[in-house]
Amino acid sequence: MTLIAKILPTILTAVIICFASMQITFANDFKIADLEIRHPHAQAPFNNARVTGGYITIINNGSTADKLIAVKVEFAEKAEIHEMKMENDIMKMRALEGGLSIPANQTTSLSSGANHIMFTGLKEKLNDGDKRKAILVFEKAGEIEISFSFETLMKIKMRTKKNSMKMKAKDHSEMIKSEIIKNDMDHKIMDHKNMDKTKHN
| The Cα angle at residue 181 between residues 180 and 187, in degrees rounded to 5 | 90
Q: Which amino acid is at 4?
A: I
* Minimum CB distance to Cu ion smaller for 41 or for 82: 82
What is the C-alpha separation between 170 and 36, in angstroms, rounded? 20
Q: Which of 30, 35, 37, 82 binds Cu ion (CB under 5 A)?
A: 82
One symbol per residue from 84 to 123: x for binding Cu ion (CB under 5 A), - otherwise; what is it?
A: ---------x------------------------x-----
In whole angstroms, the minimum distance from the beta carbon of 81 to Cu ion comes to 9
Bridge partners (DSSP) listed for residue 119: 52, 79
Segment near Cu ion (CB under 5 A); pick from 82-90, 126-134, 136-144, 154-162: 82-90
In whole angstroms, the minimum distance from the beta carbon of 104 to Cu ion comes to 26
CA dist list (Å): 54 to 114, 139, 185: 11, 20, 47
In whole angstroms, the minimum distance from the beta carbon of 84 to Cu ion comes to 8
Are the CB atoms for 115 and 121 separated by under 8 Å? no
Residues that bind Cu ion (CB under 5 A): 82, 93, 118
